[in-house]
A and B are shown apart, each in its own frame.
Chain A
């Protein structure tokens, strides 16, 4: 008896969580689907592992059937008509399967006649999973660590500054004329605050490029990555972003340049309120420097056939589409597009937190279509502008024996820097 009451109370609590997510867009998405099936083949997971649960509509229907059960008359009078779902252990498992097999790439949204956003619908699934304490714990832990770092940043600043000083040599190898320090830190009134990731690979090349451009910049104390956004924990995601917002305001910067990380960029650029400073992707910054003649790149250094992978969060979800291509054309003599590309590009299969969660077997199986696309390009170098995509493409390259080289756009640009006249 106690168990029944507890199950009912849990369902009621989850229902309340669900209701909180019912904004106008969500209601429109939940009410509009005609189940035409046009999204079925949009998902890279379905294209690689053809199962209904891996279709956009299949995933959204799990949430929609719960919606019908609790928020529509049909759920009360004729639940069988819509095959509605109760909130219980079984439906929570289905929610997990739906939410964490979806990378949130929104390719299905491009193909849907109504433009239904499966990623937004999956945010309900993720919120319910958190409510049911069934969310991926690794993502929770990483998000909590980011927040904790924000709370104790003052204690670690000195060590961080010392570590950055150790990067001077690496930056000078790429741009010998770099000022001292080569990686400026905590400089009020800098024009640009560069937000990197953990690891020097996300700092050195960017520092060389900004130094070559004579930019007034400094490095953020924080990592750009927002694990809470992957997790679907909106309050935590906001707190993680707020650390950077506060820092940018404290240093009175004009622009926040986000490292090659699609989700971090989209979150800061499009998912929080405007904050009085611009937010740009690092690929956009390189493109601007080239356009303004502040840096020059040597095209002769990269003679191999190069192709570009559009990171979903950067390209179709944020509009950074042509800038990376202009940079690539400036540094590679043999650039060829993959098919499909731009808004239609296949997701790498590592988004939505899957890379951080591990999940290697699923990632490799579910991205076979991506590996096929990479192979078909005939390129020997695949370039991208997102850390997640880079990790996933590297894993695919190894798993499927593609024999390609996976590169960051910023790394290629830094290596191709030439001194101005």
Chain B
């Protein structure tokens, strides 16, 4: 197994040519960085081997399992809701809007109810949700087939700002949980979910911020992350260490592990509102036709 990993690593290192559009200096830095952090020559044993295997398990197979679980569980939950009998009667609130769908979209994405009653909360909510959207785009951009940022860019989408956009509000949401009536209506699950997200984001921030604060600049660039996503997209099951260099690798593993945990729990938490908000809002806005 260890020999196999080393062979894959060497093969990947030799194949890590600069991405089209990337600068020669950047490519050279990447190559130097890659060469300096390849798994040490010779077979690993004991704790090192166990750690390698654990990290590989987290970075590749478990990620597939988590994503598959998320898709299946999410679909099952949505199907269960959609297949349940419809509401017994109209649930609208008046005055009724002229364009119910538009009103439901405005409610779901603009959250005017929050803006009116808690403007500061609204600012953080908007920042958070826009940030999550950008975060998703930023991660999709890591797939070689998708090009939002230039392929040779060292930065992911937002150059670290997106991470701040989700991390700061998460601190606020967590703090808010401890205040007044919010503390009384919160359950342990609410705190755990926020803590999980907070640490997930913090380790993500470490990638985009801490990762670039080295004497020689970036340890890992967007191109490196893209190569990792390439491994995942190609189902090659190669060791990500061959393309992700440096000691920060362990933090990436933790980031990915937290993301996997999030994928596993998402269908059973209130994060489901991401998928349910629009249909729920439609119930409030839809006046039934009576003929």
B-contacting residues of A (Cβ < 8 Å)? 22-29, 31-38, 40-41, 52, 55, 57-58, 61, 72-74, 80-83, 106, 109-117, 120, 234, 270-272, 274, 315-319, 321, 342-343
**Selected contact of B276 from candidates A32, A55, A109, CB within 8 Å:** A32
* Residue in A closest to B104 when the chains form the complex, CB atoms: A115
A-B contact pairs, 28 of them (CB 8 A): A24-B82, A24-B84, A25-B87, A27-B81, A28-B280, A28-B283, A31-B77, A31-B81, A33-B270, A35-B190, A38-B113, A38-B121, A40-B185, A74-B189, A81-B192, A83-B187, A106-B93, A112-B113, A113-B107, A113-B114, A114-B276, A114-B281, A115-B93, A120-B91, A271-B88, A274-B290, A319-B94, A319-B96
* Residue in A closest to B81 when the chains form the complex, CB atoms: A27
- Interfacial chain A residues near B277, Cβ < 8 Å: 32, 114
* Residue in A closest to B112 when the chains form the complex, CB atoms: A113
**CB of B62, distance to nearest CB on chain A (Å):** 19
* Residue in A closest to B176 when the chains form the complex, CB atoms: A37
* Residue in A closest to B177 when the chains form the complex, CB atoms: A35
**Selected contact of B87 from candidates A23, A72, A111, CB within 8 Å:** A23
Binary contact readout B101-130 vs A (1 if CB under 8 angstroms, 0 otherwise): 000000100010110011001000000000
**B284 touching A81 by the CB < 8 A rule?**
no
* Residue in B closest to A279 when the chains form the complex, CB atoms: B290
**A24 touching B85 by the CB < 8 A rule?**
yes
Binary contact readout B172-208 vs A (1 if CB under 8 angstroms, 0 otherwise): 0000100011101111111010000000000000000
Total residue contacts A-B, CB cutoff 8 A = 145
**B84 touching A23 by the CB < 8 A rule?**
yes
B36 on the A face (CB < 8 A): no
- Interfacial chain B residues near A73, Cβ < 8 Å: 268
B160 on the A face (CB < 8 A): no
* Residue in A closest to B84 when the chains form the complex, CB atoms: A24
- Interfacial chain A residues near B118, Cβ < 8 Å: 38
Given contacts A28-B283, A111-B113, contact A35 B185 (CB under 8 A): yes
B98 on the A face (CB < 8 A): no
* Residue in B closest to A57 when the chains form the complex, CB atoms: B185
B90 on the A face (CB < 8 A): yes
- Interfacial chain B residues near A343, Cβ < 8 Å: 93-95
**A28 touching B279 by the CB < 8 A rule?**
yes
**Selected contact of A32 from candidates B87, B189, B270, B290, CB within 8 Å:** B270
Give the interface size class of chain B.
35 or more
- Interfacial chain B residues near A270, Cβ < 8 Å: 89-90, 288
- Interfacial chain A residues near B184, Cβ < 8 Å: 52, 58
Task: Tell me the bound Cα distance from A36 to B281 in angstroms.
Answer: 16
**A27 touching B80 by the CB < 8 A rule?**
yes
Given contacts A28-B279, A34-B270, A115-B283, contact A317 B190 (CB under 8 A): no
Task: Tell me the bound Cα distance from A353 to B56 in angstroms.
Answer: 62
**B188 touching A83 by the CB < 8 A rule?**
yes
B291 on the A face (CB < 8 A): yes
**Selected contact of A37 from candidates B96, B107, B182, B273, CB within 8 Å:** B182
- Interfacial chain A residues near B96, Cβ < 8 Å: 319
**A317 touching B187 by the CB < 8 A rule?**
no
Task: Tell me the bound Cα distance from A200 to B88 in angstroms.
Answer: 34
- Interfacial chain A residues near B90, Cβ < 8 Å: 270-271
Interface residues of B in 55-103 (CB under 8 A from A): 77, 80-82, 84-91, 93-96
* Residue in A closest to B116 when the chains form the complex, CB atoms: A111
* Residue in B closest to A274 when the chains form the complex, CB atoms: B290
Given contacts A28-B280, A115-B280, contact A321 B80 (CB under 8 A): no
**CB of B137, distance to nearest CB on chain A (Å):** 23
Interface residues of B in 221-268 (CB under 8 A from A): 268
**A81 touching B189 by the CB < 8 A rule?**
yes
**A31 touching B93 by the CB < 8 A rule?**
no
- Interfacial chain A residues near B288, Cβ < 8 Å: 270
